[in-house]
Each structure stands twice: as structure tokens, then as C-alpha cells.
Amino acid sequence: MKQYNPMLASPADAPFSSDDWIFEVKWDGIRAISYVNEKLSIRSRNQKELIDNFPELNELKELASNTVLDGEIVVMKDGKPDFQSLIQRMQNIKPGDIVYMSGKFPATYIIFDILEKDGKEMLDIPLMERKSILKNSVKEGKFIVLSLFVENAGEDYYRAVLEKGLEGIMAKKKQSSYEPGKRSNSWLKIKQEKTCDCVIFGYTKGEGNRENTFGSLIMGLYDAAGPVFIGKVGTGFSQEYRENMKQSLDKYKTERETLTGVDMDREITWLRPELVCEVGYQTVTDDGKLRIPVFKRFREDKDPFECTIDQIRPAISDYTAKRNFIRTPEPPMTQEKGMGKTFVVQEHHARRLHYDLRLERDGVLKSWAVPKGIPEKSGDRRLAVQVEDHPLEYRKFEGDIPKGQYGAGTVKIWDKGLYEPINWEDNKIEFIVSGEKMTGLYVLVKFKKAGNNNWLLFKGSD
């Protein structure tokens, strides 16, 4: 059977409801793809064989055949996933310990997708059809279950999941294909706390009561050009845990600098970039650093090269998928940094003239097409259709998009400047604009009756 890398989800800011999506529990476990043939193989994201550590999952051979399945391995305790017990089981290598732990902390494999059946790939089949095939291809057992999902009611489901003490939900487009190894906007993870899997490149010298351990861990993520410094984390571990951590970290010491761009305010011990940790954070700063990071745990099931920058830099796969950058002069996303709260309005002479309002937020340009133009008088209202996020590079774009390309026509900047958000919620955005033509208070309000992407834009009272 062909080997697959799992499809990855992009982060979402908040829960939502939509007839076009389904919603599942986001399980706190180990992502695993299983290959069920004459021999059963269950592999983690970094291609580690897991079946030896979780022998109870061998029952999958009796419940399915000639399939490739995607799911999550969890250990449940008091009705919630217990990640520490799961990692403890991952670390067992002695046969006696493995048998004992499989009885004390049995694992459950929660299957949510099917990638192959009887030698036929399922990747391009829409998700809801794959779900139907999955249900007819796998029986449930003592340790094997199929993931349940709900349709439409994402917000209610999210609240119910949090009340159960779970970490969040997954939202998946019903018509989405399966994109191996890709972080897609067709799958979204919605959690109460933002987290990121980071590579540890070193640590700073400790001071005071940390003199014998370390100060902060130096974190990085990979982009196309190499590792990128995203900040330091110095909270989330006790003194005793830091002492044990330092012993583990020092096994990876190296004399060479392994990450550039790190501020050298303290002495640094560099490490080979082979360790992954999960870090909670509040937001991402304009210069691409994690704000208020907190260490959560090591992730031994993750490969360092899986820790990519798109975890914190919003994916613009919809923008990229619609454009052929060999033919269109429009810019791809590169490494442009945020400039604060910028805005741009572009006059777009496409099939029909319209104006594109773009607001910088979370490393991208949130975008709306305004067919009737920007309102200029207080109380004037205009329909504004939300479109795909655009890269920051687009705020400078002017030019001719050739015929046959998405959005063909002439684009020129109508206005640009800075804006200050007063209120940014799921259904309402209020902001003050300082441009040459747009000035003062503007409001965007979601117009649900007219469609999920439709908003009303109006100029507020000055």
C-alpha cells in the first residue's frame, strides 16, 4: 500500500455554524494512519510504528480489510483524554510493561477518514462520501470506534464540547478532498486556547532560583527558507520539572548556532533541533513572535520538520489555489512582515467594477468585495462580500490580471492608510480609518440572511 502523510488543519479564531461544514471533537491524542492488509501497520505522523506499543489495536484486523484509515489514538481517563498516560505508553519498550499498561490504560483508536479501499484511492472523493464509505468499511469494536459528527450547529457543539472538559472541535467542509501532508483551510481546528508545536533550538542561562537549570527555551518554526525564530518560553514548568528537563535538553547540546535572529540578551546554550514541544500562546505579534507563551509538554510523536510556520501564520491556500503565478502579476505570499494595522481599498475593473476593502489582521489581509463602492456618508450601507484572505504583499499591488485568470481585469489602489479596530467580533467589526478618502468610523455587520459571506458595510457617525 502507498504511504500517506496526514492532512493537517488550519487554526480558526472562533466557532461558527454552516450547512456546508461538519463538526467533530478534536481529540488530544496521537494522530495515526493505519494500513490494514495481511499485516496491520499503524504509523504516527513521524512514521513511527505504533502497533507494538498498543497491541490492543490489533483487533482492527478483524474489523476492516484492505483499507488505509486516518484517526487519533487516545487514552481516556474520567471521560477525557489523558495525554500523559498516552505518552507513557509510547515510551514503554519492555514487553511486560507494554502488556501491563495496555490493561491499565487501554487505548482507543478513533477513526475519522478513509484514504484507500481495496487498492483504490479515496482522496478526491468529497468528505461526506468518504464518511459513508468509511461507515460501510469498518466495524466498531472494544478499542476501535468511528468519529461522530454533527452538521451545521458548530457553535452549539463547541460549547457542549468545552463543557465536557475537551479541548475543542474540528470543522471540515463537506465537499473537501483529502490533501495528504497539506495544512488546508478546508479543515479547521477550533480550540479555547491557541497552541503551537515548536522546535527547541536552545535555552538561555538561568538566573536566581533558575541558576542551575535554564531561563527560557528558544523556539523556532520552519518555513520554505529554513528555521524562523518565534520567541522564547520561560513559564509553564516547575523547578523540579526544569531540573529534569535540563538533563534531557543537554543530550542535544551543540557548539554551533542553530537558529539566527535570536536576541542575545543572555548566554545561550544551543541544541540540535530534534525536540518538539507544544506551547500555548495568546496572539502572534506583528513581528511574528508568540505573545505570552506557556510551555505545555513535549511532543515525541511529532517530527521537527512538521513544525511549520503556517501554524501561526494564517494559511492562504484558497488564494493560492485560484491563481497561476506564472501568468498573473499578483504576488504570492513571501516573508513580508506586518506594518501594524494597515488597510487598502483597490478599485478592481473585473467583469464588473467593484472595490476591494482589505484590513491587515493576524498576518493576512482580511478582504471584502464591495460592488457599489465604499460608502461616503454617515448611514450609507453597501453590500460587502467576504472573499479569501490575501497575503500582506497584496496591499501594494496594482496591475493587469490577464484574461483567463481569476479576477481578470485592472487593479489600482483607490485608497490606503492605517486603521484602528475598536471591536472585532465574529459578526461585527468596528474600525476607525485614516486614509485620504476613507476617514472616520466604519462598521461591518454580518448579513446572515443574505448568505454566510455577506456583510453590510456602512459609515458610522463621526
**pLDDT surpassing 80 at residue 340:** no
Task: For residue 66, give the C-alpha cell.
Answer: 484492505
Which long-range contacts (C-beta less than 8 Å, at least 24 apart) are formed by 272-276? 273/199, 273/200, 273/201, 273/220, 273/227, 273/304, 274/304, 275/199, 275/200, 275/248, 275/249, 275/304, 276/197, 276/198, 276/199, 276/200, 276/300, 276/302, 276/303, 276/304, 276/306, 276/307
- State the average pLDDT for the chain: 91
Cβ atoms of residues 52 and 98 within 8 Å: yes
Three-state DSSP at 166 gives coil
Q: For residue 145, what pLDDT is reported?
A: 97
Task: For residue 256, give the C-alpha cell.
Answer: 554551533
Mention every residue, 6+ apart, whose C-beta is less than 8 A from residue 214: 203, 204, 205, 206, 242, 245, 246, 249, 269
Q: Count CB neighbours of 208 within 10 A.
A: 6
**pLDDT surpassing 80 at residue 264:** yes
Three-state DSSP at 242 gives helix
Strands of 282-328, DSSP E: 283-284, 290-291, 294-298
Residue 199 vs residue 377, higher pLDDT: 199
Q: For residue 71, what pLDDT is reported?
A: 97
What type of residue is 357?
L
What are the angstrom distances between the C-alpha of 412 and each of 249, 378, 407, 439? 53, 26, 13, 19
Highest averaged pLDDT of the listed ranges 130-144, 259-273, 335-349 = 130-144
Cβ atoms of residues 184 and 171 within 8 Å: no
* Mean pLDDT, residues 148-174 taken together: 93
Read off the pTM: 0.65
DSSP assigned state of 155: H
Q: For residue 147, what pLDDT is reported?
A: 96
Q: For residue 84, what pLDDT is reported?
A: 83
Q: What is the pLDDT of residues 102-137, one digit of tens each?
A: 999 999 999 999 999 999 999 999 999 999 999 999
Domains, the chain, ordered by start: 8-191 (3.30.470.30), 195-311 (2.40.50.140), 317-459 (no CATH)
Q: Count CB neighbours of 425 within 10 A.
A: 10
Q: What is the pLDDT of residues 278-329, one digit of tens each?
A: 999 987 876 788 988 999 999 988 899 989 888 887 667 678 878 888 899 9
End-to-end CA gap in the chain? 65
Catalytic residue among 2, 26, 120, 416: 26
Span of 93-97, 234-238, 283-287, 309-313 with lowest mean pLDDT? 283-287
Exposed / middle / buried, residue 84 (Cβ in 10 Å: 0-12, 13-18, 19+): exposed
Three-state DSSP at 373 gives coil
Q: For residue 240, what pLDDT is reported?
A: 82
- Give residue 337's pLDDT band: very low, low, confident or very high (50, 70, 90): low
Q: For residue 1, what pLDDT is reported?
A: 78
**pLDDT surpassing 70 at residue 56:** yes
Exposed / middle / buried, residue 133 (Cβ in 10 Å: 0-12, 13-18, 19+): middle
> Is 412 among the catalytic positions?
no
Q: What is the pLDDT of residues 136-155, one digit of tens each?
A: 999 999 999 999 999 999 99
Q: What is the pLDDT of residues 399-449, one digit of tens each?
A: 999 999 999 999 999 999 999 999 988 789 999 999 999 999 999 998 866
Angle at 77 between CA 76 and CA 82, to 5 degrees: 70
Q: For residue 451, what pLDDT is reported?
A: 64
Mention every residue, 6+ apart, whose C-beta is less than 8 A from residue 438: 343, 345, 374, 415, 417
